[in-house]
Structure formats: C-alpha cells, structure tokens
Amino acid sequence: MGKFVLKQTATGFKFDLKAGNGEIIASSEIYKTEASCLNGIDSVKRNCVGEVEDQTVEGFEKKKHPKFEVFKDKAGEYRFRLKARNGETIATGESYKTKPSCLNGIETIKKNAPEAPIDKI
C-alpha cells in the first residue's frame, strides 16, 4: 500500500506519494504551511478519480477536470500532472521512459491515494 510522506523543506512543506515499494509516484509543489500541504493531500485523494488526457497524441481529446494530463518533457520522457476540479496542478509524476510506465503510475495513484496514510517526517 502507498503512503503520503509530508516533510518540511527550507521554504515550506511538500508531500510525496510513495508506492508500496518506496518509489516516489508523484510530488507536490512547496506549500507555505503544513495545513495547506495537508489540504493538498486531501485534494489528491478527492481528485485522483479523473480521466487521463493523453497530450502526446495529435488531436487528443480534452477531458474535464479533475484529470491526469500525460505529456512529454523537454528530455522526451513521459510525465503526468494531476489537475484538480479548479484546473490547478496538485501533483506531478516522476519521468518515465515509456508511456505504459507513465500510465501505470497513474493507475497506482488511483489505487493507492484515496486510502493512503500520511507520514510526517
């Protein structure tokens, strides 16, 4: 089972969603307060039910928020971002060499995030 790891940084607070094997699946932005970071985690839990919008294919179908956007980064690797109902990015995935691996990361979030416990370090 996955878990959220909330930690303080030099400039605020952030979270990582880790899979059962300890690998980071997605990370947040830096939040100013722990409370706002916890709200971000709650938002991921609520919004991870969204559809996948594959922006790597020409003429892709736009999906409604919440959604996962799959795209290629500057290095040509696959990434995703989870967008909330209001269109704000609430989590960003690690880079993947293949699209199937990226899509698997999204499925892992959908499966693990809703019930994932929070560890504060």
Q: Give the Cα separation of 16 and 41 in Å (integer).
A: 9
Confidence at residue 32, expressed as pLDDT on a 0 to 100 scale: 97
pTM of the full predicted structure?
0.91
Q: Give the Cα separation of 78 and 93 in Å (integer).
A: 9
Q: pLDDT tens across 11-51, in order?
A: 999 999 998 889 999 999 999 999 999 999 999 999 999 99
Instruction: Answer yes or no: CATH 2.30.29.80 is held by domain 3-120.
Output: yes
Residue 99 makes CB contacts below 8 A (sequence gap 6+) with 54, 56, 70, 78
Q: pLDDT tens across 48-95, in order?
A: 999 999 999 999 999 999 999 999 999 999 999 999 999 999 999 999
